[in-house]
Amino acid sequence: MRKEFGRSDRVSSEMQKELSFILQREIKDSRLGFITITEVNVSKDLAVAKVYVTVLNVDEQGKRDNVKRLNELAPVIRHELAKRMRLRHISELRFYYDNSFDTGMRVAELLSDLDKPSEQ
């Protein structure tokens, strides 16, 4: 019988909180925009963590550049994470852009257009 809230889920949740704090306060890189950690998925063996992020107020190229920069900074971020979390081994961090926020905004825009009376 599987536990409702397994270890990898608990580690994911804690890792999301700590990564948010690290990106907000510890990482001083002017090239990074306003980054939000939307989700962290840790593998069952805790070896790899997929970190999904959104970046506000940037174009498509800016989003790609921010994710690329985060992946370049992953060893530094992982080192900071190791100081904050009480785990024997810290997962390898892989950053990905989360399109769900952009999709939600687009759907909301389309729905608001439907509510407006058409001018004919």
Per-residue pLDDT at 108: 84
What region does 83 belong to: left with phi over 0, alpha with psi -120 to 50, or beta? Answer: alpha
Per-residue pLDDT at 120: 52
The strands making up 34-42's β-sheet, listed across from edge to edge, are 34-42, 48-56, 92-97
pLDDT 10s per residue in the chain (120 long)? Answer: 455 678 888 999 999 999 999 998 888 888 888 899 999 999 999 999 999 999 988 888 999 999 999 999 999 999 999 999 988 899 999 999 998 877 887 888 888 888 776 655
What region does 79 belong to: left with phi over 0, alpha with psi -120 to 50, or beta? Answer: alpha
Per-residue pLDDT at 100: 83
Q: CA-to-CA distance for 36 and 39, rounded, in angstroms? A: 9
CATH superfamily of 7-115: K homology (KH) domain (3.30.300.20)
Half-sphere exposure of 55 (CA within 13 A, CB side): 21
Kindly list the domain boundaries of the chain, sorted by start residue. Answer: 7-115
Check: CB of residue 95 under 8 Å from CB of residue 58: no
60, two tokens: 């498509």
